[in-house]
Amino acid sequence: MKAMASLFSATATVIPRNLAVASSAKHPVGHSLPNSYSPPFLSFPTSKSNPRIRLTASLQSPPAHASASSSPSATFHGLCYVVGDNIDTDQIIPAEYLTLVPSKPDEYEKLGSYALVGLPASYATRFVEPGETKTKYAIVIGGANFGCGSSREHAPVALGASGAAAVVAESYARIFFRNSVATGEVYPLESETRLCEECRTGDVVTIELGESRLINHTTGKEYRLKPIGDAGPVIEAGGIFAYARKSGMIPSR
């Protein structure tokens, strides 16, 4: 398997604030299923019972005839929510909410309402407002070691259920990265630049997967991201089981 993310040097350049975001260009990736991912322990609602509508992020889907191994060409646009280093799974979704079953649509939605509720009081702005089930923030921006702590798959599931489309962090705990790919809930993207010090909660940003870049329209700066690589098609398909069915590795239902 190819390296999951070839290193790109991070740069920040000034661009016009009213920049029109161009369509993402595709780039080839390997055709083999990443062998470092094991099937998730959780099952999730089908598209009929839970369409997983992104309220603040737009996803440009590839043509229906595209193969499962095609590189995703997606653009996410919306407000960002900024956190610091060592955001652990207890902060992403406290243990008291792990009794919620993501395969039940109503409990999946409720799980999203508790995303990042474990953050300390120093975070004055809530990721999901009290009484709401969806966040207004399409993208979470973090520092180093995002998703450390336990191996609970509820962590990326809660973020996805809240309506977040991607996390951009300086680095990840391996288990959180793997669970994000296996469940297909959020794109775990990396940048060598400490974007948690470059961006502020509420900034308007765009992520172009095909171009491996993040544009902060509020500050007018652009940053290079590490390519998502072979993990991209798995997430785009909806997780490892959906990818295996789509690519013919296991029978379709």
| pLDDT, tens digit (0-9, with 9 covering 90-100), for 47-69 | 333 333 333 333 333 333 334 34
Three-state secondary-structure class, residue 223: strand
Q: How far apart are CA 191 and CA 216, in angstroms?
A: 14
Whole-number average pLDDT of the chain: 78
Q: Closest Cα partner for 133 from 196, 207, 50?
A: 50
Mean pLDDT of 204-211: 96
Q: What 8-state DSSP symbol labels residue 88? A: B
* pLDDT score, position 47: 35
What's the whole-model pTM score?
0.73
30: phi then psi, degrees, rounded to nearest 5: -65, 155
- Kindly state the percentage of the chain with pLDDT values over 90: 67
Mean pLDDT of 101-118: 97
Report residue 42 as tokens: 């959780």
Domains and CATH numbers, the chain: 12-16+42-60+71-246 (3.20.19.10)
pLDDT at 199 over 50: yes
Mean pLDDT of 172-183: 97
